[in-house]
Chains A and B, each alone.
Chain A
Amino acid sequence: MSVLIIKNLHAEVDGKEILKGVNLEIKGGETHAIMGPNGTGKSTLASVVMGHPKFTVTKGEVLLDGKDVLKMEVDERSRAGIFLGMQSPAEVPGVTNSDFIKTAMNARSEEGKNISLFKFIIEYDKAVAELKMNADLPHRYLNEGFSGGEKKRNEILQLKMLKPSIAILDEIDSGLDVDALKIVGENVTSMKSKDLGLLLITHYQRLLDYISADVVHVMMQGRIVKTGDMSLIKKIDNEGYDWIKEELGIEDERVYVEDEKEKILLGTCATKELLGL
């Protein structure tokens, strides 16, 4: 059973602080959900835990079973057991889906001990069928030309194959229709065990109709401002976030407001104006 502990995590991008002291503890067997309006730092939290190069951690700790995650490279974090189902996974032309997943699985096994091809194909086909994906998937290039829903399902496919100990699913429900949402929900639920700690990031309660969460957090202004159980979701679903803002005296829940870009009139030399000439 693994434990992921996030302590007072601060992170910034381009000098702007987005995470302002996140505290969170996820144990194997638990399912946490983070909700919150747009622009409050939810996805940033997921990317920082995975190690996206764009973000810089300025303060705080992330520990997986006592090991310092922030000192690890992205691939080491993955091999240590962290998985991030991404909101918009990259497309990699020319690399087939099955080659990619096979390589990823081999990266986990010891040097020289590759997973048997036969075992891989059986496991892969089973996962594809369970997710009701098209049979041509193994030969298609990784995420290239995939619809939004296919990309999300492909993330869950990898989750099933790689069997991490901590999985973060970043808005895995966006872009999914009701049927697909149900399939994804059922597949994730069926993976629940004491060996898997889950963190779901979402805007909508509808994902949580299919995957029940033990703990629900609300994020605003780059930190977790409220923690509760499933009843919190019902209340948010009925009343929105305003009551939380009122309760906590928050006026603008966003981390930062983007500066409005100076408007340029068509007909003038745009480049010149931007350069201030």
Chain B
Amino acid sequence: MNAKKVHMHVDSDRLIAWLRVVVTVVLAFLCGFLILGFTKFSPAGAFGAMFRGAFGSKRGIAETFLSMTPLILSGLGFALAYQCRLFNIGLEGQIAMGGLIAAYLGYALTGLPPVVHVAVCLLGSALGGALWGLGPGYLKARYGIHEVISVIMLNHIAFKVSAYMVSVGGPMKDRSDFMPASPFIAKSAELTRIWEGTRLNIGIVIALVVCVMVWVFLYKTSPGFKLRAVGQNMHTAGATGIPVKSYTILAMVLSGALGGLAGGIEILGIHHRLLAQFSPGYGFDAIAVALLGLLNPLAIVASAFLYGVLRSGSVLMQVVTGVSKDMVSVLTAIIIFFMGMGEPIGRYLKARSFEKRKKKYAA
């Protein structure tokens, strides 16, 4: 067998993958331009402001990395679930619950050394998110109830619970402040700032470490292998002894845990207390981040970076040009559309080139 021929095929598959991503991003920006073109805004001005906002200043760069952190984690969360053919669009709720628990543990526990306190808070936030993923996972595995609806309901419930907690008279409300927020967490629970003059903290490091851990889990461990097998072909997986139902639940639990962790880091690293709606939609960005990263943790870092640019840059864009930050949501939707469209198209192209090559291998 000619090894060169196979590398060509492996490369052509990789080519198709790269093509999907690049074409999607380019088309998304083009659509963004078009939409702005219909309005009085100048597309070039808007996107220019966006990039300036993301890179133009020390604070901007820091904010870019700051946005990357929850995006990496929630992107990983979506990707992990999707690797097991599950659609976890409930990350937003899982982030909220994670933040809630982190904040609570942050101000309720005192007298702990910083490392321990942070660890406890983050563990708690991960558990909170995991719990929020457990329900839908169980309902899907045991009863076949589609995870999409149950997870969206839990999103809304999480928002309301969170709002309640910091509402007037709520159990987590800071009595001394009129803002709907919890008390500030103890200093020992705060994540260390790592860049003088900015809010950038070690959360980004934690996110990158977790990213590597997820990569290792998926591609280097036995349970990760089994999870992917269930996602690719649950019949074969079941026939070779993999407990499909258990892995369905595990995938949702882990996915939720990653979302919860994202929320926890947001609280411990940036806000230092629970605010009602502290996530500007990271849970939904996660979908685009994961799809653009083609579900690979290491590539997700790159797409999370792209999104970090979009998110942090959009703040300046709104201030300077008046184009709403929600331009990012519009881009997200378009990216998801095109990645979604690319799936069957990519499969079709792969199948076509595969048919041609199959004859050569059918020896």
**A, B assembled together:** no
